[in-house]
Amino acid sequence: MFTLNLIPSSPLSFSKSNHQYYPINRIQNPFSFTHSPVFLNKSTPLSSKVCNFNKTHGYPLGKIQALSTKTTPKPGSHVPKAAALSEPNPEGEAESVEAAEAKSKAKTLQLALVFGFWYFQNIVFNIYNKKALNVFPFPWLLASFQLFAGSIWMLVLWSLKLQPCPKITKPFIVALLGPALFHTIGHISACVSFSKVAVSFTHVIKSSEPVFSVVFSSFLGDTYPLKVWLSIVPIVLGCSLAAVTEVSFNIQGLWGALISNVGFVLRNIYSKKSLQSFKEVNGLNLYGWISIISLFYLFPVAVLVEGSQWVQGYHNAIQTVGKSSTFYTWVMLSGIFYHLYNQSSYQALDEISPLTFSVGNTMKRIVVIVSTILVFRNPVRPLNALGSGIAILGTFLYSQATAKKKSSAGEKKS
């Protein structure tokens, strides 16, 4: 009978193992081994060698240490993955925070660029569109050219594969006929208004578009909360005050802006109903095909309405400007930037939430109004400025109220 002294020099306490196997039970029958365990071999000098439990059952000693103590394992020892993952990694957390901050800064920069291009392109369009209309007062031809420029732009993008071309089918074209018709009405009416009154006045009246949207949508069965209905009150009051006090007031300019609102509202409503089966087409491609179809709608009518006056009007425009190249530049810029600012608006809508887009659109209208007043030096009466401010404030409140309505509807669906 001898005494088994495994670790005589240092006492070691073991916590109770939760594993289903226990080392002692595995050696109850030493005769079942082909070779006797080292620590049961009498010939082994036990006093001079400590038994290595690291290899018992293939389980490392680190597992027992993890259960009983938080001692850091020596280099080269095996550490279980669960224990390694449980330890905090300050360096990894710092890197993730830095990556998140860099991503947030990049997103902010991208958003600033999108809004900047959107505002800049809209300002350029309004300025050169008005310059061209001042010397060539034929909005039907100019509106047709702007649609033509947008159509050529999209065809170039599709042919060079810079923009994926949507699959064209007969149902898709039929579904676009209605939205394109209302888009044509909205576009030509706005151009007529621009030719008759100041750009700032047209934009103030066009800020009343939410009123028509709520009214028409309500007739079609949509319901709106009280906040939405209250938000359109300052829009109506502000537009009315601005119209009464407008220096360059013209009844055709007023009706043109109002009809433009009706056209664009019906385009939006009709698009939701007729294009439900074509959600795979992105906004830019959709707008491109609407522009192409609108061009076929508008140009034949433009020839009938004012085609007989174009030649004489062209000569008068060249005589007024002095250089034909200047007139060509104005027309070209109005056509190109008309499409570009619409393209940027679709890209902005893809990148940001509808609420942010609505706020940005409201601010865009303010920027355009102020810019055109400074460029064309239009006289503005105090009451006119007050009415414009009230109308734009109402537009902002409307965008806030409708965005909350959409978010609550989305939460109910989810």
pLDDT digits (tens, 9 = 90+) for 337-354: 999 998 888 777 767 766
d(CA 335, CA 341): 10
Give the pLDDT of residue 99: 79
pLDDT class for 362, splitting at 50, 70, 90?
confident
**CA distances (Å), 132 to each of 42, 60, 163, 318, in order?**
110, 85, 31, 11
Average pLDDT over residues 6-22: 46
Name the nearest CA neighbour of 19 among 72, 50, 52, 58.
Answer: 58
Sequence-separated (6 or more) residues with CB below 8 Å from residue 220: 269
| Rounded alpha-carbon distances, angstroms, from residue 386 to 199, 229, 334, 392 | 17, 21, 30, 10
**pLDDT value of residue 246:** 87
Q: Read off the pLDDT band of 179 (50, 70, 90).
A: very high
Rounded to whole angstroms, how far apart are CA atoms 223 and 219?
A: 9
The rounded mean pLDDT for the chain is 79
Measured in degrees and rounded to the nearest 5, phi and psi for residue 380 equal -130, 125
Distances (CA, A) of 118 to 45, 111, 124, 345: 87, 11, 10, 6
Which DSSP symbol is given to 41? -
Whether pTM exceeds 0.85:
no
Per-residue confidence (pLDDT) for residue 258, from 0 to 100: 95
pLDDT at 89: 64
CB 220 within 8 Å of CB 401 = no
The four Cα atoms 342, 344, 348, 354 give a dihedral, to 10 degrees, of: -10
What whole-number distance in Å separates Cα of residue 242 and Cα of residue 129? Answer: 22
Rounded CA-CA distance 63/79 in Å is 7
